[in-house]
């Protein structure tokens, strides 16, 4: 059976290819893949009546958005922290008040089905906001049962809804109450939990919260080295609050990404610029924490660091599933330009989850994942802030969001063809 051919027309197509350019032209897809992207007018013999033509003139087409840092699956919520935060409590003060530990408690109490249902609802909202692929970290279970349960929820969700999910084990998120020292907990992770996760193929990455009062540089290195030996790729939550040197360590370890980086040193910016390690920046988190400084995105960009922007969707410091919020903050808070930000939520984000060969740009052979913004040009996306600008989403060639609404039959056929 021949695959359905679809043609997409727009004056504003952001391809996220090497030239990081916008073209006025066409995208042709076949089934779930991109067949061709070309500028200019097309002669009618390129298509026939059997082809489906989508006229998106007046709108902007980008690759499907990739959210490269989320803590998708967790129990409960933490709105009780809001008043404390408004009264001036910092992230670390909230952490000591309960913070991650209160989510761990709620996650442990939640059944597989409860976690699945909650995250599924979140994913539908993410899809409506233009996200077609994401990374999802564990780390709110910490014990063996709950961590495995969370990662199994990720795996099931990857098969049973439209958005593609890449899983990360993040046991090194906090010290669970039942352990008396980091050392004891690290031994448990390395000897018991990480081999069990790999045995069931539940996670691609291992992420470590390298921060003063959480896991030290030495502890981070120990966990990362063991994780690599088991076949995990490495990510590090680095230099979020204190300039500990986590970004430099990430480079030394050959980590795929270093994330947060609000307090990165100039020396580590240079080090990252000379490496393949992607900087995943989370400006919506900075806003929500009411922190003083955003990560130095402009400086990093100018030095040549590969930058991705992500939502950091999580119940403590960024309970927001809308990746456009992070994009808006990258623009208004960090002073990044529209095309730089779009690169950070497409091809660079795909690199941050090692999926750049399949997604992240509009190029022949990649998945036909497209996000359509109701914006006549890319500047308009960032100018018209604070609302959902995404009107349509195509996931692997299926029209899963149509005129701002979920298209359930297309979502179903997307899932069937995954």
Nearer to Zn ion (CB atom), residue 312 or residue 321:
312
CB of residue 391 to Zn ion, shortest distance in Å: 29
DSSP 203: -
CB of residue 90 to Zn ion, shortest distance in Å: 17
CB of residue 243 to Zn ion, shortest distance in Å: 18
Q: Could you tell me if residue 408 is left (phi over 0), alpha (psi between -120 and 50 degrees) or otherwise beta?
A: alpha
Nearer to Zn ion (CB atom), residue 153 or residue 414:
153
DSSP codes joined into one string, 238-263: ESSSS--SHHHHHHHTT-SEEEE-TT
Nearer to Zn ion (CB atom), residue 59 or residue 69:
69
Nearer to Zn ion (CB atom), residue 238 or residue 372:
238
Nearer to Zn ion (CB atom), residue 312 or residue 356:
312
Q: Mark residues 254-293: x for contact with Zn ion by CB under 5 A, - for none.
A: ----------------------------------------
262 with 295: CB under 8 angstroms? yes
Strand partners, 398: 395
CB of residue 110 to Zn ion, shortest distance in Å: 19
190 alpha-carbon distance from chain centroid = 26
CB of residue 152 to Zn ion, shortest distance in Å: 20
Nearer to Zn ion (CB atom), residue 312 or residue 392:
312
Q: Which residues contact 110 (CB under 8 A, 6 or more apart)?
A: 75, 76, 118
DSSP codes joined into one string, 44-60: GGG--TTSEEEE-TTSE
Counting residues that bind Zn ion (by CB under 5 A) gives 1
14 with 378: CB under 8 angstroms? yes
Q: Are strands 278-281 and 257-260 parallel, antiparallel or unpaired?
A: parallel
Q: Mark residues 290-319: x for contact with Zn ion by CB under 5 A, - for none.
A: ----------------------x-------
Structure token digits, residue 215 = 């896991």
CB of residue 3 to Zn ion, shortest distance in Å: 38
Considering only residues 308 to 367 of the shown chain, the ones binding Zn ion according to CB under 5 A are 312
In the complex, the residues that contact Zn ion under the rule CB under 5 A are: 312
């Amino acid at each position: 059976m021949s695959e359905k051919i679809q043609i997409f027309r727009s004056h504003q197509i952001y391809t996220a290819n090497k030239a990081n350019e916008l073209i006025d032209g066409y995208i042709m897809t076949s089934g779930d893949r991109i067949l061709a992207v070309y500028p200019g007018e097309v002669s009618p013999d390129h298509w026939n009546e059997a082809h489906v033509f989508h006229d998106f003139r007046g709108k902007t087409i980008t690759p499907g958005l990739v959210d490269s840092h989320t803590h998708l699956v967790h129990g409960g919520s933490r709105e009780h922290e809001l008043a404390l935060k408004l009264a001036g409590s910092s992230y670390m003060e909230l952490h000591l008040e309960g913070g991650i530990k209160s989510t761990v408690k709620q996650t442990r109490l939640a059944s597989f089905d409860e976690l699945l249902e909650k995250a599924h609802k979140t994913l539908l909202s993410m899809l409506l906001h233009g996200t077609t692929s994401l990374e999802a970290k564990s780390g709110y279970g910490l014990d063996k049962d709950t961590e495995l349960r969370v990662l199994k929820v990720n795996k099931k969700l990857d098969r049973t809804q439209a958005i593609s999910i890449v899983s990360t084990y993040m046991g090194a998120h906090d010290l669970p109450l039942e352990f008396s020292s980091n050392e004891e907990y690290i031994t448990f992770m390395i000897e018991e939990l990480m081999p069990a996760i790999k045995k069931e193929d539940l996670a691609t990455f291992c992420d470590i919260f390298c921060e003063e009062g959480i896991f030290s540089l030495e502890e981070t290195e120990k966990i990362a080295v063991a994780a690599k030996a088991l076949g995990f790729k490495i990510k590090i939550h680095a230099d979020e609050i204190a300039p500990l040197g986590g970004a430099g360590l990430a480079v030394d370890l050959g980590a795929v990404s270093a994330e947060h980086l609000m307090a990165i040193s100039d020396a580590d910016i240079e080090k990252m610029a000379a490496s393949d390690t992607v900087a995943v920046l989370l400006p919506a988190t900075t806003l929500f924490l009411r922190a003083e400084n955003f990560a130095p995105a402009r400086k990093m960009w100018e030095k040549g660091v590969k930058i991705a922007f992500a939502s950091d969707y999580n119940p403590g410091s960024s309970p927001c599933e809308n990746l456009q919020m992070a994009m808006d903050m990258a623009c208004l808070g960090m002073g990044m330009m529209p095309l730089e930000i779009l690169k950070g939520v497409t091809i660079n984000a795909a690199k941050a989850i090692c999926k750049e060969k399949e997604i992240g740009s509009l190029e022949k052979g990649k998945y036909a994942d497209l996000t359509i913004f109701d914006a006549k040009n890319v500047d308009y996306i960032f100018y018209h802030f604070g609302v959902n600008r995404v009107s349509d989403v195509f996931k692997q060639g299926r029209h899963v969001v149509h005129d701002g609404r979920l298209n359930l039959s297309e979502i179903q056929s997307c899932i069937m063809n995954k």
